[in-house]
Amino acid sequence: MSQDIRIGMLGFGTVGTGTYRMLVDNREAITKKIGRGIDIAKIGIRDPKKERALDQSHFTTDLESIVTDPSIDVVVELIGGIDPAADLVEKALLNGKHVVTANKELIAKHGSRLVHLAKSKNLDLHYEAAVGGGIPLIQPLKHQLAGNDVIRMMGILNGTSNYILTKMEQEQADFADALKEAQAAGYAEADPTNDVDGIDTSYKISILASIAFGKQVPVENVFREGIRNIGITDIEYARSWGYKIKLVGVVDAIGKDAVCVRVHPSMIPGDHPLASVNGVYNALWLHGDFVGDVMFSGRGAGSDPTGSAVMGDLIDVGRNIVGGGSGSAIPYEAGMKVVPIDDVHSSFYLRLRVKDRPKTLGQISMVFGEYAISIAEMQMKTLPDNLGEIVFLTHRASERSFAQALREVENLEAVDQVAGVIRVEDKQ
Ligand code: HSE
């Protein structure tokens, strides 16, 4: 058998360790599948003093020396973020190296450009681990599902948020306590912004949309709202009507050449396949014109599942090197047309704290009526201090009309506080 394929790895944290462990445990099978061995020859790190699973001779703090090293065949980028990852990946490609990356921000922002660069140099650039950890999502969208017009995709793509919402639902924990538990369990970062404010999901859903629709969705055009305002009370009302609250990324095809891409909490009907995806699990549900409904689910983060996705890409790159099929990346153009959320229609959940006195309900329903918003369900209860709580589920309305009505409702003297607003997925 000829010489091993030489890997230069940038970063050796959670994902790098998982990838390395998989190689050690399954080396024989991996070598057989590729037709050549894999050698993790060099690893670029920031902190040379940290204890590592491999001999120190593998490590260097000079990351640039890896992407320019003529003996390296494939660069595996696992440092995340844009700076210095973007420059290093570009340099690796310019130096003739195939690239495997788990970097969702990099692909969401620069995917189109980098895939074109790889293609122009007959190189592979794979990024399965960037979305959904160990769940195969990118390859099925690029290949097996590629003949479909995707009508709709909806995904739970952030394990940390799903862990928090599941804790809130199952243990009646409030958001702050559930977040602390997620941090203690090692899921949420000290600064949880990327996860709980939907930033991580916006990168992932824009990558999936870009592949499904063949044009890069600018991530800045993705509507985004996180889960910080979700209360246990909302989860309980949702349950009483047969829904679960999940942070979802949603893509709707709008005509033939536009999409609406959004990230926000949604009330999902209890019998929808996404409703039973709990804890740190991720899932993507989609509807294609020929395939119908499809759902993928599994572990969306963590060392071993994400390492498994990186290894899958490495095996693909390795097979292409051995078999001569490199450079078969499927490029997508820049500039997908993204329509604003204002034009999207959905049902809404609205929880109001109101003054408990005559005409309050009448005034609120008058405003809904003015904007042609029809109420589907309602619950009401009295609270201490002459206050009350009124909770509505509306029929479908445009985001624009609902927002206008909400502004007027909020300004009613009888309304003390808008306590919760959540979009609702319709029951089938
Ligand atoms: N922080 C992400 C999550 C995993 O909680 O799902 C990495 O994308």
**Digit-coded pLDDT (tens) for 259-273:** 999 999 999 999 999
State the distance from the centre of ligand 1 to the C-alpha of 251, rounded, in angstroms. 20
Distance from C-alpha of 6 to C-alpha of 9, rounded to nearest angstrom: 10
**Ligand 1 pocket mutation pick from 200, 202, 297 by most atoms within 8 angstroms of CB:** 200
**Coil/strand/helix, residue 287:** strand
Provide the pLDDT confidence category of residue 54 given band limits of 50, 70 and 90.
confident
Mean pLDDT of all residues in 82-108: 98
**Is residue 190 in some structural domain?**
yes
Provide the pLDDT confidence category of residue 48 given band limits of 50, 70 and 90.
confident
Tokens of 401: 């009309």
Q: Are residues 187 and 100 in the same domain?
A: no
| Listed residue (34, 25, 47) closest to 7, CA to CA | 34
**Is residue 339 in some structural domain?**
no
For the ranges 128-132, 171-175, 334-338, which has the lowest average pLDDT?
A: 334-338
Q: Are residues 326 and 408 in the same domain?
A: no
- Domain with residue 389: its CATH number is 3.30.70.260
Question: Is 1's pLDDT higher than 60?
Answer: no
Alpha helices (runs of H) in 36-82, residue ranges in sequence order: 63-67
pLDDT tens, residue by residue, 325-383: 898 888 888 889 999 999 899 999 999 999 999 999 999 999 999 999 999 999 999 99
Instruction: Judge whether 11 and 44 are in contact, CB under 8 Å.
Output: yes
Q: Tell me if 306 CB under 6 Å of ligand 1.
A: no
| Listed residue (89, 160, 99, 88) closest to 124, CA to CA | 99
pLDDT at 14: 92
Tokens of 363: 């005034």
**100 Cβ neighbours under 8 A, 6+ residues apart:** 74, 75, 76, 77, 124, 125, 126, 127, 129, 310, 313, 314, 317
Q: Tell me if 159 CB under 6 Å of ligand 1.
A: yes
Whole-number average pLDDT of the chain: 96
pLDDT at 110: 96
Question: Is 2's pLDDT higher than 80?
Answer: no
Q: Are residues 192 and 229 in the same domain?
A: yes
pLDDT at 231: 97
Burial classification of residue 4, based on how many CB atoms lie within 10 Å of its CB (0-12 exposed, 13-18 middle, 19 or more buried): middle
Burial classification of residue 428, based on how many CB atoms lie within 10 Å of its CB (0-12 exposed, 13-18 middle, 19 or more buried): exposed
- Domain with residue 309: its CATH number is 3.40.50.720
State the distance from the centre of ligand 1 to the C-alpha of 230, rounded, in angstroms. 20
pLDDT at 215: 95
**Is residue 252 in some structural domain?**
yes
CA distances from 346 to 277, 336, 373, 393, 394 (A): 22, 23, 11, 11, 9
Question: How many domains is the chain built from?
Answer: 3
Distance from C-alpha of 45 to C-alpha of 63, rounded to nearest angstrom: 7
State the distance from the centre of ligand 1 to the C-alpha of 130, rounded, in angstroms. 9
Q: Are residues 213 and 360 in the same domain?
A: no
Residue with tokens 């916006």: 202
State the closest ligand 1 atom to the C-alpha of 131, by its place in the atom list counted from 1.
Answer: 8
pLDDT at 428: 83
Instruction: Judge whether 125 and 76 are in contact, CB under 8 Å.
Output: no
Q: Are residues 154 and 86 in the same domain?
A: no
State the distance from the centre of ligand 1 to the C-alpha of 200, rounded, in angstroms. 7
Percent of the chain past pLDDT 90, that is, above it, reads 92
Question: Is 44's pLDDT higher than 90?
Answer: yes
| Listed residue (319, 266, 268, 272) closest to 293, CA to CA | 272
* Strand-pair category, 223-224 with 258-269: parallel
pLDDT at 291: 98
Provide the pLDDT confidence category of residue 83 given band limits of 50, 70 and 90.
very high
Render 220-277 in DSSP notation, one character per residue: GGSEE--STT--HHHHHHHHHTTEEEEEEEEEEEETTTEEEEEEEEEEEETTSGGGG-
State the distance from the centre of ligand 1 to the C-alpha of 192, rounded, in angstroms. 10
CA distances from 262 to 130, 222, 336, 363 (A): 18, 5, 14, 32
pLDDT tens, residue by residue, 272-319: 999 999 999 999 999 999 999 999 999 998 999 999 999 999 999 999
pLDDT at 145: 97
Domain encompassing residue 79: 5-133+303-332
Q: Catalytic: 97?
A: no
**Is residue 389 in some structural domain?**
yes
Total residue length of the chain: 428
pTM of the predicted model as reported, rounded to 2 decimal places: 0.96
Q: Which of 97, 104, 167, 204 is catalytic?
A: 204
pLDDT at 66: 98
State the closest ligand 1 atom to the C-alpha of 188, by its place in the atom list counted from 1.
Answer: 5
Q: Tell me if 195 CB under 6 Å of ligand 1.
A: yes
Percent of the chain past pLDDT 70, that is, above it, reads 100
Q: Are residues 322 and 398 in the same domain?
A: no
**Is residue 295 in some structural domain?**
yes
**Is residue 114 in some structural domain?**
yes
Give, in degrees to the nearest 5, the angle at Cα 58 between 53 and 60: 110
Q: Are residues 127 and 142 in the same domain?
A: no
pLDDT at 27: 98
Burial classification of residue 148, based on how many CB atoms lie within 10 Å of its CB (0-12 exposed, 13-18 middle, 19 or more buried): middle
Protein residue closest via CA to atom 4 of ligand 1: 301
**Is residue 338 in some structural domain?**
no
23 versus 428: which is more confidently predicted?
Answer: 23
**Is residue 337 in some structural domain?**
no
State the closest ligand 1 atom to the C-alpha of 161, by its place in the atom list counted from 1.
Answer: 5
Last residue of a domain, one of 279, 312, 332: 332
Q: Are residues 312 and 248 in the same domain?
A: no
Distance from C-alpha of 304 to C-alpha of 136, rounded to nearest angstrom: 14
SS3 of 135-163: CCCHHHHHCCCCCCCEEEEEEECCHHHHH
**Ligand 1 pocket mutation pick from 158, 161, 203 by most atoms within 8 angstroms of CB:** 158
State the distance from the centre of ligand 1 to the C-alpha of 341, rounded, in angstroms. 25
pLDDT at 53: 78
Q: Are residues 213 and 174 in the same domain?
A: yes
- Domain with residue 287: its CATH number is 3.30.360.10
pLDDT tens, residue by residue, 234-263: 999 999 999 999 999 999 999 989 999 999
Instruction: Judge whether 125 and 115 are in contact, CB under 8 Å.
Output: yes
| Listed residue (124, 129, 123, 83) closest to 106, CA to CA | 83
Q: Are residues 190 and 324 in the same domain?
A: no
Tokens of 57: 């001779």
Q: Tell me if 103 CB under 6 Å of ligand 1.
A: no
Q: Are residues 127 and 110 in the same domain?
A: yes
| Listed residue (255, 225, 217) closest to 338, CA to CA | 217
CA distances from 142 to 127, 138, 169, 264 (A): 12, 6, 35, 26
Protein residue closest via CA to atom 7 of ligand 1: 301
Helix (H) or strand (E) holding 346: strand 345-355
Q: Are residues 370 and 417 in the same domain?
A: yes
